[in-house]
């Protein structure tokens, strides 16, 4: 083995299903000059074997039990891409085994399990981050910089958008509440809420009121991923939250896989401040998102929009997709011993709020945090 190969980070993938295939493995493969995937684990051995053949190093190992994988002392980093219910236990075990961990969103199915992950990271001194790749989009970076520059003034009202007209994921375990912890709120609402809190730099929720609905489970026509089986659909099809922060700022969160609304918005945010407002538009998931700022100037109401697409901030103008930029920043954070952009303490607050929305919807009461 050459010195260059020895210096590469050794990465293991636990869970070789959809999100690993769509985001993690292709992005990491493009970084193979700095890191290589040396181990793959999945409860379906064939999935792990296929992933190893396509993305792995020459001597990549295949596992069906993640605990066997964690016994390999040569592995530096683990990416946890399993169903939500197992995020916490696998992450904690990986941290305790001396690995840095990138855990796919959401952090965990509840705040108690999320805190176990944070405690393990602090105890072991290993890095932990959560897969909120939407922070790495070009439009997200524009709005983040505007907020850092205080261009909007005090942001006291926001909307976190995660709405699909008919976009119920019909594969995997997305419709299984036991394995996922919920439906669109915990699946795509988590992205919109993460962006909102990050832009506002406000992680102190005080009061949460939520509603959830399962009204369209039997109306599976027109779904972009094909009709779903109503008998297998045991999560909400939409959920909505009212979040009041300690400083009085208010956030409205809307999340749905199926809602009778023409114009959907997913992983996008509206911010209203004392000096200006901002709203995200466009097909952000395709790298075509943009931001429109609104304010007053020369005695008139004005709007200014950014161009969609373009390079991603933090990376010297490189043209990277959000998932690729996320992987690059994560690898560099480990190699250069820097703090990851997505901090586990921030992801914990997202989980805390989502949990409170579900609890409020179930009990009919406001939840104080």
Give me the domains of the chain, ranges plus CATH numbers. 3-134+329-342 (3.40.50.720), 136-316+347-368 (3.30.360.10)
Q: Which of 15-29, 140-154, 282-296 shows the lowest per-residue confidence on average (mean pLDDT)?
A: 282-296
| Spatial distance between the Cα atoms of 4 and 50, rounded to a whole number of angstroms | 26
Closest CA to 270 of 280, 282, 283: 280
Sign of CA dihedral 176, 180, 181, 186: negative
Q: How many angstroms separate the Cα of 348 from the Cα of each of 107, 150, 160, 203? A: 7, 25, 17, 9
Contact call for residues 181 and 85 (beta carbons, < 8 A) = yes
* Plot region of 331 (φ>0 → left; ψ -120 to 50 → alpha; else → beta): alpha
Q: Is the pLDDT of residue 188 over 90?
A: yes
HSE of 275 in the Cβ direction (CA atoms, 13 Å)? 8
Instruction: Judge whether residue 2 has pLDDT over 60.
Output: no
Reported as a pLDDT band with limits 50, 70 and 90, residue 222 is: very high
Give the confidence band of 319 by pLDDT, cuts at 50, 70, 90: low
108 and 114 Cβ atoms separated by less than 8 Å: yes
pLDDT bin (cut points 50, 70, 90) of residue 24 is very high
Tell whether the model's pLDDT for residue 315 goes beyond 60.
Answer: no
Q: Is the pLDDT of residue 334 over 80?
A: yes
Nearest Cα to Cα of residue 326 among 31, 7, 122: 31
Mean pLDDT over the full length of the chain: 94
Contact in structure between 87 and 103 (CB atoms under 8 Å): yes
Please report which confidence band the pLDDT of residue 7 belongs to, taking 50, 70 and 90 as the band edges: confident
Both tokens assigned to 275? 């000096």
Tokens 């009121």, residue located: 209
Which pairs from 120-124 meet CB under 8 Å and 24+ separation? 120/91, 120/92, 120/95, 120/96, 121/95, 121/344, 123/95, 124/95, 124/96, 124/98
Residue with tokens 């530096």: 76
Is the pLDDT at 71 greater than 60? The verdict is: yes
The pLDDT score that the predictor gives to residue 320 is 80
Separation CA 220–CA 216 (nearest Å): 7
Q: Report the SS3 class of residue 95.
A: helix
């Amino acid at each position: 083995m050459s010195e260059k190969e020895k210096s590469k980070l050794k990465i293991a993938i636990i869970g070789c299903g959809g999100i690993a295939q769509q985001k993690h493995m292709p992005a990491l493969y493009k970084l193979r000059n700095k890191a290589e995937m040396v181990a793959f684990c999945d409860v379906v051995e064939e999935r792990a074997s296929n992933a190893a053949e396509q993305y792995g190093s020459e001597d990549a190992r295949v596992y069906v039990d993640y605990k066997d994988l964690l016994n390999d002392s040569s592995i530096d980093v683990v990416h946890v891409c399993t169903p939500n219910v197992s995020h916490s236990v696998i992450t904690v075990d990986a941290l305790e085994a001396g690995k840095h961990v990138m855990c796919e969103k959401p952090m965990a199915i509840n705040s108690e399990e999320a805190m176990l992950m944070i405690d393990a990271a602090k105890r072991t001194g290993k890095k932990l981050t959560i897969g909120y790749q939407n922070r790495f989009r070009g439009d997200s970076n524009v709005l983040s910089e505007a907020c850092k520059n205080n261009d909007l003034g005090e942001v006291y009202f926001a909307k976190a958008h995660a709405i699909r007209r008919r976009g119920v994921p019909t594969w995997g375990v997305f419709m299984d509440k036991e394995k996922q912890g919920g439906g669109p709120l915990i699946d795509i609402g988590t992205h919109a809420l993460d962006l909102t809190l990050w832009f506002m730099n406000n992680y102190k929720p005080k009061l949460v009121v939520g509603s959830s609905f399962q009204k369209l489970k039997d109306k599976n026509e027109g779904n972009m991923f094909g009709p779903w089986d109503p008998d297998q659909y045991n999560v909400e099809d939409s959920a909505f939250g009212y979040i009041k922060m300690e400083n009085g700022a208010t956030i409205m969160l809307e999340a749905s896989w199926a809602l009778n609304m023409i114009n959907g918005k997913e992983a996008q945010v509206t911010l209203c401040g004392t000096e200006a407002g901002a709203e995200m538009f466009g097909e952000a998931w395709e790298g075509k998102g943009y931001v429109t700022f609104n304010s007053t100037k020369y005695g008139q109401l004005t709007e200014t929009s950014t161009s969609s697409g373009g390079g991603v901030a933090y990376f010297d103008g490189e043209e990277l997709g959000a998932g690729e930029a996320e992987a690059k920043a994560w690898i560099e954070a480990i190699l250069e011993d820097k703090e990851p952009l997505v901090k586990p303490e921030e992801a914990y607050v997202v989980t805390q709020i989502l949990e409170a929305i579900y609890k409020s919807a179930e009990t009919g009461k406001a939840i104080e945090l």
